[in-house]
């Protein structure tokens, strides 16, 4: 579908008011190094979204919270395709926050179809580039060089993910504290009487 070889049937003529793109949740929980295949998945979802979201519609997409270069580039694309001042991020469920470095990024007020056409063309080219190579690829979606993207998007990304990172940190600390407390319950400590008897024996000897 993302390659233009298939289409969603019986779609509303004006598109969907809300698109949910959360396929990243289907990836293994221990994914730390995002492969071309994983990035392809995110790009494909974004391409389908831009094809079918209605003018003024919304998107909820699941993205990594690590500020990798391609993630920052995707956020730059979202700021062009939607109202950049209305983009927010939300944590996963509490039980998932400590295990998965992902978050929901919510976008509002999709731009006109004409404004999205250029972005869709870049996404198609990027998907093909990912298919043609096995090495790491960093396609340029937003139309700027990587250093420029990092500088221009840095403050926005920090503000976007700051509450998410705080939630992930708190969830991780809570999970580790439970693990530590669980281990401590299995440790047998000598009673005060036993410690006193041991002290007396040591003195007599």
CA distance 25 to 199: 58
Domain residue ranges in the chain: 16-204
Give me the half-sphere count of Cα atoms (radius 13 Å) on the Cβ side of residue 63: 30
Cα separation, 150 vs 67, in Å, equals: 9
Among residues 90, 16, 25, the alpha carbon closest in space to that of 55 is found at 16
168 vs 100: CA distance, rounded Å: 9
Q: What is the pLDDT along the chain (205 residues), one digit of tens a residue?
A: 555 455 677 778 888 999 999 888 777 665 556 777 788 889 999 999 999 999 999 999 999 898 888 899 999 999 999 998 899 999 887 666 666 788 999 999 999 888 899 999 999 998 888 888 776 666 688 888 888 888 999 999 999 999 999 888 887 788 767 666 665 555 454 555 454 454 555 555 5
Token pair of 53 as six digits: 């979201």
Candidates 84, 83, 105, 103; CA nearest to 92 is: 103
pLDDT confidence of residue 19 = 95
Decide: 38 and 28 in contact? Cβ < 8 Å: no
With a threshold of 0.85, does the pTM exceed it?
A: no
Q: Which two tokens stand for residue 133?
A: 């190579």
pLDDT of residue 4: 47
pLDDT of residue 76: 93
**DSSP H helical ranges for 10-107:** 36-52, 69-81, 94-97
Rounded Cα distance, 67 and 157, in Å: 8
In whole angstroms, what is the distance from residue 38 CA to residue 127 CA? 11
Distances (CA, A) of 20 to 11, 31, 33, 61, 104: 15, 21, 24, 6, 10
Instruction: Please measure the distance between the N-terminal and C-terminal CA atoms of the chain and give it in whole angstroms.
Output: 83
């Amino acid at each position: 579908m993302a390659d233009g070889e298939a289409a969603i049937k019986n779609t509303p003529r004006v598109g969907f008011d809300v698109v949910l793109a959360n396929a990243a949740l289907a990836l293994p929980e221990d994914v730390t190094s995002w492969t071309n295949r994983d990035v392809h998945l995110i790009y494909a979802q974004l391409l389908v979204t831009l094809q079918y979201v209605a003018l003024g519609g919304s998107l909820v997409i699941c993205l990594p919270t690590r500020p990798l270069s391609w993630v920052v580039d995707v956020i730059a694309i979202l700021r062009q395709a939607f109202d950049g001042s209305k983009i927010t991020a939300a944590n996963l469920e509490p039980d998932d926050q400590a295990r998965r470095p992902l978050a929901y990024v919510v976008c509002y007020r999709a731009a006109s179809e004409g404004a999205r056409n250029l972005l869709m063309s870049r996404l198609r080219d990027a998907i093909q580039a990912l298919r043609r190579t096995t090495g790491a690829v960093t396609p340029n979606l937003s139309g700027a060089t990587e250093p420029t993207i990092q500088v221009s998007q840095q403050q926005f990304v920090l503000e976007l993910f700051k509450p998410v990172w705080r939630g992930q940190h708190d969830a991780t600390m809570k999970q580790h504290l439970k693990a530590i407390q669980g281990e401590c319950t299995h440790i047998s400590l000598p009673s005060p009487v036993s410690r006193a008897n041991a002290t007396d024996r040591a003195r007599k000897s």
